[in-house]
Structure 1
Amino acid sequence: HPTEVQRKSILDAEHQIAHLLAERDLPLTPKERASNGALLHAHVATLWQTRMLRYSKLTVADEIENALSWYRITFLRELPGLYDDIENEIAAQFPQRHAQATNHGELAPFVQMGSWIGGDRDGNPNVNAGTMQHALARQSTTILDFYLEEVHALGAELSISTLLVGVSPELQALADSSPDSSAHRTDEPYRRTLIGTYARLAATARALGATNILRKEVGPAAPYANALEFTCDLQVLVDSLMGHHGAALIKPRLAMLKRASEIFGFHLATLDMRQSSDVHERVLTELLARAKVEGLYADLSEAQKVDLLLAELGKPRLLYSPYLHYSDETNSELAILRAAREIRQRYGARAIRNYIISHTETVSDLLEVLLLQKETGLLRAEWTDAPGNAFDAELELMVIPLFETIPDLRCAARIMQDLMALPQARQLIAKQGHLQEVMLGYSDSNKDGG
Structure 2
Amino acid sequence: MNDKKEKKARVKAGRKRVRMRILTSLVIYTLLLVLIFLGYYRWFPTRLSNQLASVFGLRVTYFLREYKHFFIIGFYIIGVIIICVQTATRYVRYVDAISLSLTSLVDDDAEMQSLPAELKDIEIALRDVKYTLVKNENAAKMAEKQKNDLLVFLAHDLKTPLTSVIGYLSLMNENPDMPEEQKAKYLGITLEKAYRLEELLSEFFDITRMNVQSMVISHVKVDLTMMLYQIADEFYPVLAEKRLTAVLDVESGLKVSGDADKLARVFDNLLRNAAAYSYPNTCVCIEAAREADGIYVRIKNQGDEVPPEKLALIFEKFYRVDSSRGTGTGGAGLGLAIAKEIVELHGGRISVSSVGHEMQFMISLPECQEGNTEELAKKEKNPEKHRFLGRRKKTPQSPEEDSEESLEGARGVPLEDGVEERKKE
Higher strand share: 2
| Structure number with larger C-alpha Rg | 2
Pair in the same fold by TM > 0.5 = no
* TM-score (normalised: structure 2): 0.21
